[in-house]
Amino acid sequence: MGSFPTANSNYFFDLDGGSELGGTTFLLKTGSLDPSQMKTATLGSSFTSQFSVQYEDSQSQLRELLFLPMITEEKAVFYFPQIGDGIAGSGAFKTNLVFVNTGEENDVEIQFFNSDGTPMNIALSNLGTASEFSLSLSPNQSISVETPGQGPLKVGYAKVETSPGIGGTAVFSYSENGVIYFEAGVPASARSRDFTLYMDASGQSRNTGLAVVNTGDTDTNPIFKLYDSEFRHIGSCVRT
């Protein structure tokens, strides 16, 4: 059984299912079985810490249920692990961030970082140059903001804080003399301890790239494992 924080807790769920309660009023134990220390509550009431419920089952046996707070997320945090902008050789890289709001009106806070985790100043559409930007999206609205593809090449990542109803995609493009040679769209990523992705490599014509961001406060050494289409382990490596 994992532990749950109590901040911003609004609802509770019953780890044992609660079928015998049948959705009726139950007794909330606050310290003992003394009637003066008991109070009633209904399933779905709001509490701010874990509690247990004592009740009698159909055989008059005293039973206890443990309830823990379920966290209601007020903010959604996701990342674009790769942001590229600027001139490289004879071509230019741009990154276009596309956001879609399927909920109520909400703000989108974007922070840009260099690969070493320091703030990265970058130009974004008509919003000027900064390392942090704020957008506002109306219900069902979509919006896109793009880097200019000018100056020395910059590479980093972006962190986005918004509401759970907003999603995002980064579209990378490479162009020469104003002609776009390729584009690739990559959905925003939530934090994860482990993940699996498809890769493909075909000589020099096709390869798979992977960008990883450490969102924690300590150093980490990610392990990468490669498998073939039959799930045979080909090799592993550790990056520091």
Please, which residues have CB within 8 angstroms of residue 101's CB and are 6 or more apart in sequence? Answer: 137, 138, 139, 140, 141, 142, 163, 165, 166
Same domain, 62 and 129: no
**Is position 36 within any domain?**
yes
pLDDT tens digits, one per residue of 151-199:
999 999 999 999 888 999 999 999 999 899 989 999 999 888 888 888 8
Write the DSSP assignment of 2-15 as a string of letters: -----TTEEEEEET
**Is position 239 within any domain?**
no
Write the DSSP assignment of 109-142 as a string of letters: EEEEEETTSSB--EE-TTS-EESEEEEEE-TT-E
Same domain, 132 and 47: no
What pLDDT is stored for residue 57 in this prediction? Answer: 64
Please, which residues have CB within 8 angstroms of residue 168's CB and are 6 or more apart in sequence? Answer: 78, 80, 97, 98, 99, 100, 108, 160, 187, 188
Same domain, 65 and 136: no
Same domain, 23 and 81: no
Same domain, 36 and 132: no
Same domain, 66 and 36: yes
Same domain, 39 and 95: no
**Is position 97 within any domain?**
yes
**Is position 64 within any domain?**
yes
pLDDT tens digits, one per residue of 106-160:
999 999 999 999 999 999 998 999 999 999 999 999 999 999 999 999 999 999 9
Same domain, 53 and 114: no
Please give the distance of CA 71 from its chain centroid, rounded to a whole number: 15
- Residue after which a domain boundary falls, among 187, 204, 220: 187
Same domain, 86 and 66: no
Name all contacts of 75-78 with Cβ < 8 Å and 24+ positions apart.
75/161, 75/162, 75/163, 76/161, 76/162, 76/163, 76/164, 76/166, 77/159, 77/160, 77/161, 77/190, 77/191, 78/159, 78/160, 78/168, 78/188, 78/189, 78/190
**Is position 125 within any domain?**
yes
**Is position 46 within any domain?**
yes
Same domain, 87 and 177: yes
pLDDT tens digits, one per residue of 29-76:
333 344 444 444 444 444 445 666 666 666 777 777 665 554 445 678
Same domain, 48 and 84: no
The total number of structural domains that make up the chain: 2
- Domain range for 158 is 76-187
**Is position 199 within any domain?**
no
**Is position 58 within any domain?**
yes
Q: Between 42 and 232, whose confidence is greater?
A: 232
Same domain, 131 and 42: no
The percentage of the chain sitting over the pLDDT mark of 70, rounded to a whole number, equals 70
pTM exceeds cut of 0.75: no
* Domain CATH code at residue 168: 2.60.290.11
